[in-house]
Amino acid sequence: MNATPSFLPPNKWAKLLPREFYERPAYEVAPELIGCVLRREIGGQVLRAIICETEAYQGQDDQACHARGGPTPRCQVMFEEAGHAYIYFTYGMHWMLNVVCEEKGTPAAVLIRAIYPLDGLEKMQELRPRLAGTESWLGGPAKLTEALGLDRSMNGADLCDPESGLRVETGIYVPSEIIQITPRIGIKYAPEPWQSMHWRWVVAYPQMADLIGQARIRENMPVSKETLPLTGLP
DNA sequence: TACATGATTTGCT
DNA sequence: GCAAATCATGTAA
C-alpha cells in the first residue's frame, strides 16, 4: 500500500452519523455503511479508515446470527439501543467489530469486515505490525480490530457520541455498480436460507483506492437529514 | 463443571 | 489448498 494519502477532505467536513441511521434492519444499514469513515481515537491519536466490506446479521430468525437463541451475556448488546459497538471474541484469538442496528429489543448488527486506512497509518502498523503495508493488511474483520486497538473494552461503545473513542462519520460516495453482493462468510453451520442470504457487501481494495482518489463526498445519507457536527478535531 | 465449536488468520505444502 | 492456533461462549449435564 502506498503512503498515507491526503485524499479525503478536511475532517471538519465530516458529520457524525446519527442514531436514526442505525434504527432499521441491518441489511439496510450494511450497504449504506460502505464508504463511511470509521474513526478511532486511541492513545491521543486519531485513526481513520473507509469501510469497504460489511455483513448483515438480522434478528432471531437469522440462524447465522449470534442472537438467534435470544439474549446471552455475549450478544446482549445486540438487543440494546442502536448505534453501539458489538465487539466479541472468536476462534480463541480474534476480535470482531459490529454496529448494532434496529430498535431496542430487536437484535441486529452489521459486521465490519474490511477497511481502507486514511489517517494514523503509523499507529495502525504499530498495533498490527505483522502484515503492515501489504495490500490486504486491513482486509479482514480480525485484522482491522487489531489495527484499531479494539477489544472487549470497547464493547458497547456509543458510536453516536461525539466524545466516543469509536464513531462513524459520513464518507465518500460509492456507486452501487462497484459494490459486490454475496452470501456471508464463515457461516456454513447455518441452515438455509440463511447460509445463502446475500447479506455481504464488498468493494475491492483497488476500486476503493480509486474512489478515494476522486474524493466524491457523499452529501446526504439516506436516513440522516440532520447530522451532528463533529467537535474537537485536530 | 465439562465439552464442542466458531462472523478467522497465518503459515506451510 | 489445508490445517493449526487458541479460548470465550453456550449448551448440556
| Residue percentage of chain A with pLDDT more than 90 | 65
Tens of pLDDT, residue by residue over A160-217, are 998 999 999 988 888 989 999 999 999 989 999 999 999 999 999 888 888 887 765 5
Query: CB-based contacts of A218: which residues, under 8 Å, 6+ apart?
Result: A35, A170, A171, A172, A173, A174
Give the number of domains in chain A: 1
Q: Which nucleotides of C are covered by protein (CB under 7 A)?
A: 5-11
| Least trusted range by pLDDT, from A115-129, A187-201, A215-229 | A215-229
**A229, part of any domain:** no
Question: CA-CA distance, A57 to A189, in Å (whole number)?
Answer: 15
Whether A89 sits with its Cβ under 7 A from any strand C atom: the answer reads yes
- The reply to whether A158 falls in a domain is yes
Instruction: Please indicate, yes or no, if residue A231 is contained in any of the structural domains.
Output: no
- The boundaries of the domain holding residue A96 are 16-215
Within-domain flag for A233: no
Q: Is residue A4 part of a domain?
A: no
Mean predicted confidence (pLDDT) in A31-53: 93
Could you tell me if residue A230 is inside a domain? no
The residue to which cell 464508504 is assigned: A35
Q: Please report which residue ranges of chain A form alpha helices under DSSP H.
A: 19-22, 26-33, 121-127, 141-147, 205-214
User: CB of A44 under 7 A from strand C?
Assistant: no
Say whether the CB atom of A92 is under 7 angstroms from strand C. yes
3-state secondary structure A216-231: CECCCCCCCCCCEECC
Question: Is A116 part of any domain?
Answer: yes
pLDDT for A112 beyond 70: yes
Residue A130: which pLDDT band, with cuts at 50, 70 and 90? confident
pLDDT for position A145: 96
CATH for A187 = 3.10.300.10
Q: Mean of the per-residue pLDDT values for chain A?
A: 85
**Of all protein residues, which has its CA closest to the C1' atom of C10?**
A72
Specify whether the backbone of A88 is left (phi greater than 0), alpha (psi in -120 to 50) or beta. beta
Closest nucleotide relative to residue A89's CA, C1' based = C8
Residue nearest to nucleotide B5 (CA to C1'): A91
Instruction: For residue A9, tell me if it sits in a domain.
Output: no
